[in-house]
Each structure stands twice: as structure tokens, then as C-alpha cells.
Structure 1
Amino acid sequence: MPGLDGIRLLYSTIGDVRFFSRHNNEVTDRFPELMDQQVPPGTILDGEIVRSSEDGRPDFKDDLSRFQIINPKRIPILSKSRPVTYCVFDVIYRSYCFCYKCCKRPLLFLL
């Protein structure tokens, strides 16, 4: 099975909803299409943003292009015309508690 080949982000609902890059830069404003996810408060998720090409395959070049857009006038337009999907790999915090190898349940049951 091929990997997703996206851009790694942490998704935090501790306080406000925020996204952080692997270099701990906050990039929340770049992805307004992800703000309405139903993630409980006190959660930190580890995952990737992914954009699929027209044939359904992950498109890393397009992911990178979206990630690098910082112009506040272009972001809302691109979030509608080229939206990303957030794919979760791991739950780091749940209900404000650190999760470390204690969760043997499927991800859907943790949220």
C-alpha cells in the first residue's frame, strides 16, 4: 500500500484549534477548511495534510504548494478550490492526558 506522502502537522484542540508544522511553526491560518472538524477539546493529533490529484493519488507537490501559501487573500480561495484532507496517524493527547502506548483500541474509539 503506498504512503500518503503529505505534510506532517500536529492538530491541537487545547485552547483554540491550532495546527503546527514539524518545526513547531503555527500554520493554522493556512488551512481554514480544517477548522470545523469534530475533535474534542484537549486533544492533540499527529497526522498529515494530503491533497489528491485528479486520479485520486496523493500529490505532494500540490501539498507543498498549498503549505507555502501565506497570502491571506489567496488562502480562502485555495481552501475551496484545492482543499486538503487531514489524515490522522496517532492520538498524542486525549481529554488533556498524554496517551503513551496505553491505548490498544482503534483510533475511532479514542475520539
Structure 2
Amino acid sequence: MTLADHNRVLRILIEIDIRDLNAALNEAHGIAAVLERAGLRRPILLHGVDATVWSFVELAHRKRWSTRVGLEDGRTLADGRTVKDNAEIVAAAVAVFRPAPLSG
């Protein structure tokens, strides 16, 4: 795999429009593996829709990738509740990336 002017690329968007969660996760992992093998090491922004939104947010957090969410991507929180507005879904995604508070 080659990418002309790859040194000018700031980040790579992996946007999966597959509704089946397992298939979408496999696709995202496959794309990331191809990029890694090709030596294209740039920040990755992982973006899912509907059924994949929250699994992709979690995956992005684990992989230290970026993500984005909004009402155009899904209308429910990870627990299935319908969001009131864009701010609520964004706040929920931000919370996934926040470190857990120290206890004690």
C-alpha cells in the first residue's frame, strides 16, 4: 500500500458504515492492521454510526485513537437511553476518555 505525499497526512479517518457490530469491528481492526503493515503511522480517528458508535468509542479509547460522535451518528447512549441533545452524547463520549477518579 502506498500513499502519495503521505508525509502531508495529519490523521487517518477510519469510518465504517457497517451496521453489524462484529463485522464493523473486524473491518476497523483489518484497516488498522493494513495501515500498520504499510508503515503509515498517523493519528487515527475512528468513526461509527448507530449500532457501532459506543463500541467504536471504547475501541478508540483503548487504542488511544480519536473519535467523534454526535446526533448524526446515533441517538442513543451506550446504555440504550435516547439522548436529549448533541451535548449529551458528546459528554458521554468524553466521559469514556476521562481517567477514573483516584479512590482513597
Give TM-score, length-normalised by structure 1. Answer: 0.29
Q: Which structure is higher in RCO with an 8 Å CA cutoff and minimum separation 6?
A: 1
Task: Flag the structure with larger Rg.
Answer: 2
- Which of the two has greater strand per residue? 1
Give TM-score, length-normalised by structure 2. Answer: 0.30
- Which of the two has greater helix per residue? 2
